[in-house]
Structures are given as structure tokens and as C-alpha cells.
Amino acid sequence: MKTFLKGIAIGAALLSAQPALSADRELLNTSYDIARELFAAYNVEFQKHWEEKTGETVEIKQSHAGSSKQAQAIIQGLKADVATFNQVTDIDILNTRGQLIPENWAERLPNNSSPYYSTMAFLVRKGNPKNIENWDDLIREDVSLVMPNPKTSGNGRYTYLAALGFAQDQFGDNQDKIDDFLASLLGQVRVFDSGGRGATTTFVERGIGDALLTFESEVLNIADRLEGEYEVVTPKVSFLAEFPVTWIDDYTKQNGTEELAKEYLSHLYSEDSQRLLASFNYRVQNETVLKENADRFRDLKLKSIDEIAGGWEKAMKAHFASGGKLDQLQRRR
């Protein structure tokens, strides 16, 4: 297992470090923590596409960390050409705080500039020994959990909100029961890692926990690659996790990469790219690719951020700000 995780990380690093000696153009993609392998594969396909279209070669550099951390780095001067993040608020601040992109960035590409999406799921050990089938199984005293920290990770915030969406469906307007459920779930978390890949490492390599809570795409990828060692549990109610993208207007003008950056993101919507995204277990909008993968993704109720918390601005203030609901619930552990 250690070899597996180290192998995919090293593979991604090698692909991202291909020499630029003969490249005509360069582009820097800043992305979230667990997207290394996805964009390492996409970059190869895009390089072929760009060369066929323009005759130019291009070197694509990758930078991966928690998307909130990446957004801060861009605001502080990391001259990335594109951002491919896992949370809308991390791109919004490139406008509100960095003034690097326009306010209407989400309108520039289809589906609110989110070429793919996912949801939250559980990875459990072979045979599912704790019989975990749904969110309410996660609060049992004999179950220990691993998940990214909602304070530092968009992945962690999505997981928290997915659990909140389930509790809202279960308990209606009874806020005390909703709070009790969330406090119990947080109390069963043995390790809060700072990012999604760290949580995967804790669960797979260190053998900690009965269930890993993270993106469906991540748990399906692990189950595919380590066939027979783990099982995937996708709850019937979960969160619509969109993956927004944008080019960084100020920096692409400085770098002379406007056309290249726009094409890099627009090409994610092509049928071939949508097929590649689906092969990494991301859900896509392309009808043809949807039909091809109809048996891959469970049909479930996906609740949006507006349904669960009235939008990202309200969610961040009410739940994740200092002294917010998350802090209050964790003090009850």
C-alpha cells in the first residue's frame, strides 16, 4: 500500500517536471490536494491538443495543496495562470481580496465554471467489518473516523456539510438533534488531517480508522487500484461538490498566456476530456459520457450549498468562522 501511494505521487511529480528545454510555452496550474494524478493525465492530453491546434509545444507545471492555501499563495504573488480548485469560495477571494479576476468569473464557462463534480463517500476496510452503510452508522461508539480538517480543507468542509444535509433530512427543524448528531460524528474522528491526501495516507498507509470520509472520486480511485482491500460506501444523501476553475486574468496578461489558459480550461469540457475525468471517477455533465458511465455512479440525493446553508457566504460565517458552529460542536467532544 505504501508503494502504491508513493508511486502515484512520484509519477505525478515526474510528469509535472518534464523539462521545458524544447517547449514553446509554459503554464502553471494551481490545484487542490488530491488532483495530482488527474491533471498529470490531463496535461498529456492537452499538450497533444494544443500542438495539433497551434503547432506549439507547452510545458504545464502543477502545484498542489489545500485549495484555500493555494488561493492565499496566488493573492500573495504566486503568478499562476489557472486555478482548478474544489471550492467556490477559494476562487471568489481571488476577486474580493486579490482583485485578480472579475466578479462574474463563474459565468465565463459552462455549469458555473465547474467542468466536473463529485460528492462525499466513505472508504471502509475489506468486508466492511463495522457494517457502515450510512451517515448514522458513523456516530456509533465502535466506529473511528479519518477526515480532512474543515478548518483547513475544502474537502473537510464538504464532508461536514454533507453530514449536516443528512441530519437536516433526518431531524427537520429540530436544531438540538442536528447539533447532537454533528457533535457525535466529530467526536468519532480520530485524525483530522490538514488535507485530503493526508487523510488518505493516514487511513491507507497508517491503518488508522474504520472509515475514511472524503471525495467519492478519491475513494473509488483507491478501491479500483487496490482491488479487494477496501470497499466504497456512498450514502443515499450527500453534498453536491462542484470543482470550479478560472484563469487568473491579471497574471495571464503579465505572462502572455491568456489564450493558452482559456483553452486549457475550455478543453476540460470536450467529450474526450469528460471521458478522462470520468475515468478518474469524477461525475461529469456530458450526456454521452454520462450514459457510458451509468453503472459507475450511484443515483443519490445531492444537496446543494444553497439547500443546506443558504449559500457559501452564510456557510462560512455560520459554521467555519472562528467561534462558529464547528468550533462550538468540537468543544462538546
pLDDT given at position 196: 84
Contact residues for 148 (Cβ-Cβ < 8 A; gap 6+): 155, 156, 159, 192, 193, 194, 195, 196, 198, 199, 214
Q: Diameter of the chain by CA atoms? A: 63
Q: Which residue type sits at 76?
A: Q
CA 37 – CA 104 distance, rounded (Å): 30
pLDDT given at position 133: 97
**What are the backbone dihedrals phi and psi of residue 65, each rounded to the nearest 5 degrees, phi first?**
-170, 180
Show the cell assigned to 185: 460524528
CA 158 – CA 138 distance, rounded (Å): 16
Strand 117-118 to strand 120-125: parallel, antiparallel, or no bridges (unpaired)? unpaired
CA 186 – CA 279 distance, rounded (Å): 32
CA 82 – CA 5 distance, rounded (Å): 26
The residue assigned the cell 507547452 is: 58
Give the helix, strand, coil percentages of the chain, each rounded to 5: 50, 15, 35
pLDDT given at position 60: 97
What is the full per-residue pLDDT of the chain (333 aa) written as tens digits?
A: 444 454 444 333 334 444 446 799 999 999 987 888 899 999 999 999 999 999 999 999 999 887 888 999 999 999 999 999 988 999 999 999 999 999 999 999 999 999 999 999 999 999 999 999 999 999 999 999 999 999 888 889 999 999 999 999 999 999 999 999 999 999 999 999 988 889 999 999 999 999 999 999 999 999 998 989 999 999 999 999 999 999 999 999 999 999 999 999 999 999 999 999 999 999 999 999 999 998 889 899 999 999 999 999 999 999 999 999 999 999 866
CA 141 – CA 124 distance, rounded (Å): 16
Coil vs helix vs strand at 242: strand
Q: Which of 234, 262, 285 is nearest to 53 (CA)?
A: 262
Q: CB–CB of 30/63 below 8 Å?
A: yes
pLDDT given at position 21: 60
CA 60 – CA 245 distance, rounded (Å): 16
pTM of model > 0.75: yes
